[in-house]
Amino acid sequence: MGANSLESKVFEGTTTVGLVCKDGVVLATDKRASWGGFIASKNARKSFNINDLVGATVAGSVGDAESLMRLIQAEARLYEMNNGEKMSTNAISILMANILHGNKIFPYLVQLLIGGYTNEEAKLWSLDPIGGLIEEEAAATGSGSPMAYGLMDLEYKKENSVEENIPIALRAISAAISRDSHTGDGIGLATITKDGFKQYSDEEIKTLTEKSLKK
């Protein structure tokens, strides 16, 4: 199959996790984008910084996800310019739900988690492709989510800190990688605290994952 016909197909994302903590939010993803049984990318980006205090993970169509993230990032910047303050987690989640619902005839083929730490409070919202919006404490999306939920249900505690819950998120993604063929090729990790959005490097994630899997 030629490159042009391949690129016209839908590349799909796979497993993402979000955890609310007492001092912030943890977001973790895998890095594989698949097209049927074909691994289209081993370094797909699935976590995004919407503003300094809010981030998102995406599972589903890569093209739809990237387009939607560009749109909400622009809306967040415009809001900040007009109002002199950053959009909150709740405001971004509601706006995103409205955008998705308004396009439900030709929907964005995505599942989203939106997490943030605004007004000294950690929040996590789960959104479906047509704008369904549910507040969660721990959530997973994508084909590997059943495996991730199994581990999270056993080990996650909301009262733990971001530092304490990072290993839970990493083990949840690792569990999905071990059992779901559409999940794989490494882990992406981000946190949002009072200090803002942090995207972890591959070296940091490798070290943290090795520690988490020894427990």
- Could you read off the pLDDT of 116-150 as tens digits, one per residue? 998 889 999 999 999 999 999 999 998 889 999 99
User: pTM score, two decimals?
Assistant: 0.89
Work out the mean pLDDT of the chain and round it to a whole number: 89
Residue 97 has pLDDT above 60, yes or no: yes
CA dihedral 144→148→149→150, nearest 10 degrees, is: 110
Which of 8-12, 17-21, 201-205 has the weakest average pLDDT? Answer: 8-12
Q: Smallest Cα–Cα separation from 65: which of 53, 77, 50, 79?
A: 50
14, 118, 183, 191: which one is catalytic?
A: 14
User: What domains does the chain contain, in order, with CATH numbers?
Assistant: 12-213 (3.60.20.10)
14 is catalytic: yes
pLDDT class of 215 with cuts at 50, 70, 90: low
